[in-house]
Structure 1
Amino acid sequence: MESQQEVNPVFLQQLRELDIPEEAAKQALLHTQNVSAEEAAMYYFNKLENEDEGDEDLMYKMVFVVNMELSMGVGKVAAQVGHAAVGLYQALQEKNSWREMAWRWDHAGAKKIVLQGTNMAHLLELQALAMSLSLPTKLVQDAGHTQVEPGSCTVLAIIGEEEMVNNVTGSLKLL
């Protein structure tokens, strides 16, 4: 459990002196990797400020666009969506702003939607549009050991604020 991880007790005490609730102080320290009380306090107050501005209304979602041209079996599609989810989540750990997005997505229920894409060109077009909107993406290319040719683009994963993601995938049908 995340709250069981060690937090710097000196920093925790400094945050408590700022009237930050203990659990929130611990979460802020963990989120900022125990760098300093100041860093954690900035994180906490920025988060509070954003929530006060109605930021809690922003919903995040992760979508998976499956290449329907490939005629993959149900198990193959499930495995490829799994690859996309793990790959995208790993990519989200590379940037602070993306880590924050992953945290918000996770704490808002980790919404996931699987959609139908036409073919590889369609997935690449959607990826380019998502990237132009600064949405993190992961395109899965299959190794070709089972049902599809090596290098086939099987699934595109996109994450972001729901309205932004809908600008990219809102017209696609559910799988």
Structure 2
Amino acid sequence: MLDPQMSSSPLNLAVLFSLSALSLTTGYYLGQITPSRKDEIQELLKQAKTKAEREKEAYASEHETDGDEESGEEDDEDDDEDEIEIDSICLNDIPGEVRMALVIRQDLGMTKGKIAAQCCHAALACFRLIGTDPSRASYNQEMTHRWLARGQAKITLKCPDKETMDELFAKAIALGVNSYVVHDAGRTQIAAGSATVLGLGPAPKAVLDQITGDLKLY
């Protein structure tokens, strides 16, 4: 009868060999960062900083306005950043999968890249509302934990127009679902202030289905 330790030794040797090879490879590449290479990296970082500062100055110069116009622009930005803090604690007793739904307007003609960026805005905003600040009325640690622990499930759905999105938003508020509507800054493709994506959740799938059950997958 074979000794269990002997039968597992080839596997142990393979693991040790792999770790040794990885250590040697890492050490090799780290050794390539010579003083001259470090200087080169520092120079590249310096160039990147200079370029960023120039672009910032150019953008500021391009968007210079007088006092009245600037005041109006600030008001617009405030409108875009309005957040409704929805208390979703009542949903914690509902079992099952917790997910986030991202509802995308189809009548704006956004490109896929634009849509991806807007969905990112919606997802981050929803997470910020529900999971980062205990002083917010929308803070729900239990729901956030359920969502994070199961892979942060998300689903993207199609919405035909703003009227439909407004109805979905109102229904979500009524059901106590954490929600956020992204309003575009208007720098590319679409008009400033356009509602682009509605973020819903994290919330139990059973509840989200009551809101978005009739929508098609994006």
What range is the shorter-chain TM-score in?
A: 0.5 to 0.7
- Structure 2 contact 138–178 (Cα < 8 Å) conserved: no
Whole-Å separation in 2 of the counterparts to 1:130 and 1:117: 15
Q: CA deviation at 1:97?
A: 5.4
Counterpart of 1:130 in structure 2 is 172
Whole-Å separation in 2 of the counterparts to 1:134 and 1:56: 12
- Gaps in structure 1 of 5+ consecutive residues: 1-49
Alignment counterpart, residue 144 of structure 1, candidates 186, 195, 200: 186
| Correspondence 1:162 to 2:205 | yes
Counterpart of 2:76 in structure 1 is none
Q: CA deviation at 1:106?
A: 1.0
- Gaps in structure 2 of 5+ consecutive residues: 1-91
What pairs up with 1:27-38 in 2 under 5 angstroms?
A: none
- Structure 2 contact 94–204 (Cα < 8 Å) conserved: no
Alignment CA distance shift 1:57-1:91 (3 Å) = closer
Equivalent position amino acid for 2:149 in 1:
H
Counterpart of 2:114 in structure 1 is 76
Runs ≥4 residues deviating over 6 A: none
Counterpart of 2:102 in structure 1 is 64
Whole-Å separation in 2 of the counterparts to 1:85 and 1:57: 22
Equivalent position amino acid for 1:152 in 2:
S
Counterpart of 2:30 in structure 1 is none
Relative to the length of structure 2, the TM-score reads 0.53
What pairs up with 1:95-106 in 2 under 5 angstroms?
A: 95=137, 98-106=140-148
Whole-Å separation in 2 of the counterparts to 1:132 and 1:90: 20
CA RMSD of aligned residues (A): 1.8
| Correspondence 1:88 to 2:126 | yes
State the Cα deviation string for residues 12-35 of structure 1 (Å, max 9, x = none). Answer: xxxxxxxxxxxxxxxxxxxxxxxx
- Structure 2 contact 186–193 (Cα < 8 Å) conserved: yes
| Correspondence 1:112 to 2:150 | no
- Structure 2 contact 184–194 (Cα < 8 Å) conserved: yes
Q: CA deviation at 1:103?
A: 1.2
